[in-house]
């Protein structure tokens, strides 16, 4: 492609400001370039929590957003992932101590299905039964949090550290802990997707009953 063609192609494109959801005060996350508005939908953008909050202690947390709608010159997003950086996670691990992890899938009160991956770091090496008990606390606390929170409120509980603190408070009674973190949260399905899956499941069950009869 000639330089003139490239220049003309760029002239036909326009920049869209990518905005965070209302939960994050519609802050600008960046810009994206496209010829048509529909080309922007579905794109993702990742930033760090400190860039959104100004808290320099939050630079180890990455947030990912997905563009779902486009206006005249703005692209609107939904939150889809929370994740701690690999460097930060590695820095938490200590030789001679235990690292207890869990992966838990739950539904929030407004029917968002999310996968939550907490991690607990002990001060010294715990035995297998203690690790199992700590993992049980993680699972129970995550389920309890989902049962009483919307998706937005659940995300807030992780970003604010409230869920990690709740896990820490109970799990430290089992074995001394150095730290508890939620290392990752991923949005797996939205309410309409969950409803469609449930409807499909009901249809399959009905077909199986009909066959049995």
How confident is the model over 134-184, as pLDDT tens digits? Answer: 999 999 999 999 999 999 999 999 999 999 999 999 999 999 999 999 999
CB atoms within 10 A of CB 191: 14
What fold, for 85-199? Tetrahydropterin Synthase; Chain A (3.30.479)
202 pLDDT higher than 80: no
Least confident of 46-55, 59-68, 139-148, 156-165: 46-55
Poorest-confidence range of 63-67, 81-85, 162-166, 208-212?
208-212
Residue 81 tokens, joined: 């992932």
For residues 112 and 194, give the distance between their C-alpha atoms in angstroms, rounded to a whole number. Answer: 7
Is residue 128's pLDDT more than 50? yes
- Which residues, 6+ apart, have CB-to-CB distance to 44 below 8 Å? 64, 65, 66, 67, 80
The Cα–Cα gap between 179 and 101 comes to 12
Residue 6 has a pLDDT of: 47
Whether the pLDDT of residue 190 is over 60: the answer is yes
DSSP secondary structure string, 1-56? Answer: --HHHHHHHHHH-EEEEEE--GGGTT-EEEEEEESSGGGTTT-EEEEEHHHHH--G
Rounded to 5°, angle at Cα 87 from 83 and 93: 100
Which has the minimum average pLDDT: 10-24, 39-53, 58-72?
Answer: 10-24
Across the chain, mean pLDDT equals 91
**Domain spans, the chain:** 13-84, 85-199
pLDDT band at 5 (very low <50, low <70, confident <90, very high): very low
pLDDT (average), residues 40-49? 97
């Amino acid at each position: 492609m000639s330089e003139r063609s490239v220049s003309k192609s760029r002239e036909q494109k326009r920049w869209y400001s990518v905005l965070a959801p209302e939960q994050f005060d519609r802050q600008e996350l960046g810009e994206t370039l496209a010829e048509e508005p529909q080309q922007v939908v579905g794109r993702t953008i990742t930033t760090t929590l400190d860039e959104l909050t100004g808290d320099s202690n939050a630079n180890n947390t990455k947030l990912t957003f997905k563009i779902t709608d486009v206006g005249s010159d703005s692209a609107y997003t939904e939150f889809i992932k929370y994740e701690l950086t690999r460097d930060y996670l590695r820095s938490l691990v200590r030789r001679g101590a235990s690292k207890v992890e869990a992966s838990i899938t739950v539904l929030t009160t407004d029917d968002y299905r999310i996968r939550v991956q907490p991690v607990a770091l002990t001060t010294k090496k715990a035995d297998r039964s203690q690790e199992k008990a700590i993992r049980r606390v993680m699972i129970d606390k995550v389920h309890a949090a989902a049962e009483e929170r919307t998706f937005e409120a659940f995300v807030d509980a992780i970003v604010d550290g409230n869920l990690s603190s709740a896990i820490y408070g109970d799990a430290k009674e089992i074995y001394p802990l150095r730290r508890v973190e939620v290392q990752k949260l991923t949005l797996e399905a939205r309410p309409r997707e969950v409803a469609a899956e449930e409807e499909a499941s009901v249809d399959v069950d009905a077909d199986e009953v009909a066959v049995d009869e």
